[in-house]
A and B are shown apart, each in its own frame.
Chain A
Amino acid sequence: MTVRSWQRLRAPGPLSLVAGCLVPVAGTFAIDSALEGIIGLAAQVLALGWLIRDVRGTVLRAAVGFVAAAGIAVSTWLYGGRDLGEAGMAACRILYLVLPSSMLLPLLRPSQLGDHLAQRLHLPDRGVVACVAALQALDAFAADWRTIQHARRARGLGLDGGPWHRLKGSGATAFALLVVSMRHTGAMSVAMDARGFASATDRTWAEPAPWRPADSLLLSQAVLLAALPWLLH
């Protein structure tokens, strides 16, 4: 195998990435013991790990999943009959749900996903474009959130009371953010219609949405991961 074709296999498209995150979920329901779970998780790492690009980021994302799994394990132990095996199994189930996402989601690019949703899955063009355009404003909304919090702090309404005070403050900040973002939405809509978006029900696409061998490979891996716990059963 040449280096180039290897590189191409390592770059699956957005639809197979989403499938890679979601299809293995079907296997979760068949995990009936901690041992099955551990075998399944090892298989996930072996099958999908080679696609990882940003190792540090992936480990950080996975760590959040482990914390949540630990929480579930403790709850299950407390309320599910104080059985360690049950607790381990519950934790493995959660990890089996989320581990593929930790590995694959960082590779997903929203604008590519939009191209594929519209051209391959034939979702409505304008709806897809609107979602991708709104995603472009994500960082702007995060910055808006910080500015509003600064303004509230400077005006004596900052988040430094008890939990109830904080909850109220966060709610007020969220409301202010919604108002600001709705105004921004109005301006964006005007700018988009000025470029002919109002009538673009059936538009062309500057980028194609190809399905490549890498996508078929990832999809078959995902199907195998969904089937594996049932086979172990």
Chain B
Amino acid sequence: MTTDTTTRPASATPSWRTIDLMTTAVIGVVFGVAYWGWSSGYTAIETAAPVIGAAKGLLGGPWLIAGVVGGLVVRRPGAALVAETLAAAVSGMIGTQWGATVLLSGVLQGLGVELALAFFLFRSYRVWVAMLGGVLAAAFEMLYEWDAYWSGMTTGWKLTYLGCFALSGAVVAGVGGWALTRALAASGAIDALPAGREAADDRSP
């Protein structure tokens, strides 16, 4: 009785498959929990050792990793932005000292990674691209922190902080995120996604 209405043309199939959407979202949620965990470690170091000064930018890299991993695993425009924003939102919802302002950070950092991937037309996912993503994510975040957080600091301090943050972004988020993606692909857990498919191709006889 519903013969005509129970089929639809194949062309209407959305370009993001369910697994792409869910993987992006789950990466966001999982890293959100990790961000929340890291926020207490970050605050502990920041409060206990204010003498580290601008070098605390080095502690910022872990905040950028969800975007890199999201972009590298799902390989679609927007995945990095959504993963990073959701991760920030989740950490904020569980409760960190930054409240909902983490959303702003999440969006900016995610855009930084997107920009790096877009620069390579979403075709290259090598370690250099991931590192550039980490650097740009740190730079974008600094647009907001410059005045909101570090208003009392000298410009020299701010530039040192930015340098440390960008370095941490390149190493922890860039190289780290790239290595994590590779290990994840090797585990076979993401065989349905482009990064996993590539690894499965390498595994196949």
Contact = CB atoms under 8 A, between A and B. Distances in A.
Interface of A: 18, 21-22, 25, 28-29, 60-61, 64-65, 67-68, 70-72, 74-76, 78-80, 83, 86-87, 89-90, 93-94, 97-102, 104-105, 108, 110, 126-127, 130-131, 133-135, 137-138, 141-142, 145, 174-175, 177-179, 181-186, 188-189, 192-193, 197-199, 201
Contacts of A104: 100
Contacts of B43: 64, 67-68, 71
Q: Is the interface of A mostly helix, strand, loop or mixed?
A: helix
Interface in B30-47: 30, 32-34, 43, 46-47
Contacts of A72: 149
A86 B93 CA distance: 31
Contact of A80 (B104, B147, B152): B152
B159 interface: no
Interface in B139-171: 147-149, 151-154, 157
B200 interface: no
A198 B17 contact: yes
A199 B14 contact: yes
B203 interface: no
B203 to A, nearest CB: 16
Contacts of A126: 14, 16, 18, 21
Contacts of A86: 152
Nearest to B176: A171
Contacts, number: 185
Contacts of B69: 178
Contact of A67 (B17, B47, B90): B47
B162 to A, nearest CB: 14
B148 A28 contact: yes
B152 A21 contact: no
What 4 A-B pairs are tightest by C-beta distance, nearest first? A101-B99, A21-B100, A134-B25, A68-B97
A67 B30 contact: no
26 contacts: A22-B103, A25-B148, A29-B147, A29-B151, A65-B97, A65-B98, A67-B97, A71-B47, A74-B47, A79-B154, A83-B152, A93-B149, A101-B100, A105-B100, A108-B93, A127-B21, A130-B22, A134-B28, A135-B25, A137-B29, A138-B33, A141-B30, A178-B27, A179-B187, A189-B18, A197-B18
B99 A134 contact: no
Given A68-B43, A86-B152, A188-B22, A135 B192 contact: no
A101 B180 contact: no
Contact of A185 (B19, B50, B153, B154): B19
By CB atoms of chain A within 10 A, which of B13, B22, B32, B43 has the most? B22
Contacts of A201: 12, 14
B92 A101 contact: yes
Interface residues of B, number: 58
B103 A133 contact: no
A117 B98 CA distance: 23
A152 to B, nearest CB: 16
A79 B27 CA distance: 37
Contact of B33 (A60, A93, A99, A142): A142
Contacts of A67: 43, 47, 97
Contacts of B13: 198-199
Contacts of A83: 152
B149 A29 contact: no
Given A21-B103, A68-B47, A101-B99, 9 more contacts: A76-B152, A87-B152, A101-B92, A130-B18, A130-B24, A131-B82, A135-B25, A137-B29, A179-B189
Nearest to A70: B47
Contacts of A135: 25, 29, 90
A60 B99 CA distance: 12
Interface string B84-113: 001000101101111111011000000000
Contact of B26 (A22, A68, A181, A192): A181
